[in-house]
Amino acid sequence: MSMKEWEKVQAAKEKHEFNLLSLQNVTAVGIGTKIVNGENTGELCIKVFVAKKLPLSALKAEQVVPTTLENDVKTDVEEAGPFYAMAPVDHQKKWRPPIGGISTSRVAPGTGSICGFFFKDKTDGQVVGVSNNHVWAWDLQYPSDVAGVLSFPGAEPGQAIIQPGWADGGTGDPDYKIGELKRWVPIKMTPYTGSIPKERWNRVDLAMAKPTVDVEPSFLGPGLKKLVPTGWRRMTLNDAYNHTKLLHSGRTTNISYGYVSAVNTSTWVLYGSSSRDTAFFTDQVMVGRDRDRSPQGVVQAGDSGSSMFVESTLEWAGLVFAGDSSGNGVINQPDNVLNEGNLEFYVRPPPPPPPTEKYGPCSTSITYNVKEAPVGYRESDITLALDKGEYNIGEIISASGQLMDKETKAGLPNRTITWVDEIEASGFFSRILGGSEVIAGEVVTDANGKYAFTFMADTKGKHRLTCNFLGDQ
């Protein structure tokens, strides 16, 4: 898949999305790959999601989704939607300390899920919990020409956040309080129309809370194990192309499985019972359910505010906020959550043990080349002896290695190394073997002295990547 092909499909999607969304039965429009007889052809197309596939004889000619658009861009029709902000239907127990994937709400009807406590507020450096606006705040902003609002109290900073949620037995009793509402992103409501101005578009359904009890930066994984995310990454066309498998941890479905069906998706989401109670979202990720492992669906009512993770790496893949009656989901892109929430992804590292000996300094370096022609990107496993010397602009480069004593070759645990690239790479993030947290430019080794980090090639030319360990302080 070439960048030129992607740009062509993207341009066609932007030009025609509102025309397609206005067709009968259409619920969302995104970019993905064409499915024929249940098989992924790998052919890039515009995904048109419909509430129900109908025979052509049941549709007027002007309501039929065209098979191709301009420049021979193909479409693919798939059943999913309509989408709604998910309400409570089940219960979950009380968890202390609170973690991701469990029941929560404000002190009012309605219950959803906690995304997790793996975030830091950039404004003050505090660790915060994340869920949806419609779970913790319910701040729905209607245009001035729409009369009435939903009959829920509005949000106020400092209001109590409880766990478990209201529908699961949580009350205003202090024993259930786990935090206070800190900040949120208002949801701009817009009645369903053929086209709306960009200032009424939404990208996130997001609220943040300051913990008032001890919390853990983990989430409830398979077998009730507590797992720690290894980092985060934006879901790309590459993920839609490969149907990247996702792991979901939420209040109602507990553990479920899905895959990236489409990215750059635009859709309306229903927050109430009338046509006025809709909001338009763009740049969303469509998640299809894994029919074999999660026949009940990848998300269900009550999972709003939970997290999706890349199954193979445990990277945070997005914030769940909507789904349909068939169990398909819609998630906010991770970078949109971080940017609009003014957050950084943060997993608190364990304190390093005091060193018994002094080591260092030492250094190792590798050289690689970045080519000009972008062709999408894929992950490449490397050590600090790169297994390939050339990368395309936009490719994700993963490095790993081990810090060890020069004489005994024993691993040196919980030490910090720094990395330097002679041409600064953007999009740097880290994934420490063993789950520790890193900041850009620094890597903390795990208990065995192993480390890993990932960055994106963004500048053409010869690069030299150097890792340094300067010794214990």
Convert the pLDDT of each residue in 69-78 to its tens digit.
988 899 999 9
pLDDT of residue 462: 77
CATH number at residue 310: 2.40.10.120
Say which residue the tokens 């080349």 belong to: 369
Tally of domains within the chain: 3
Q: Read out DSSP for 150-175?
A: -SSPPP-TT-EEESS-GGGT--SSGG
Shared domain for 211 and 167, answered yes or no, is yes
Shared domain for 267 and 392, answered yes or no, is no
Pinpoint the alpha helices (H) of 208-260: 237-242
Full domain range(s) for residue 288: 80-348
pLDDT in tens, 115-170: 999 999 999 999 999 999 999 999 988 887 555 554 455 688 999 999 999 988 89
φ, ψ of residue 201 to 5 degrees: the values are: -80, 150
Shared domain for 69 and 53, answered yes or no, is yes
Shared domain for 133 and 40, answered yes or no, is no
Name the pLDDT band for 360 (thresholds 50, 70, 90): low
- Domain termination site, one of 287, 315, 348: 348
pLDDT at 333 over 80: yes
Side chain identity, residue 427: G
Closest CA to 240 of 352, 318, 132: 318
Torsion of CA 277, 280, 286, 287, to 10 degrees: -30
Q: How many residues belong to the chain?
A: 473
Shared domain for 445 and 457, answered yes or no, is yes
Pinpoint the alpha helices (H) of 54-146: 133-136
Query: What is each CA distance from 194 to 22, 68, 187, in whole angstroms?
Result: 6, 21, 19
pLDDT of residue 145: 57
Shared domain for 84 and 66, answered yes or no, is no
The answer for residues whose C-beta is within 8 angstroms of residue 49's C-beta and 6 or more apart is 26, 27, 28, 29, 30, 77, 78, 79, 80, 81, 262, 267, 286
Name the pLDDT band for 307 (thresholds 50, 70, 90): very high
pLDDT of residue 422: 60
* Residue 330 included in any domain: yes
**354 compared with 239, residue with greater pLDDT:** 239
Shared domain for 299 and 383, answered yes or no, is no
| Secondary structure class of 21 (helix, strand, coil) | helix
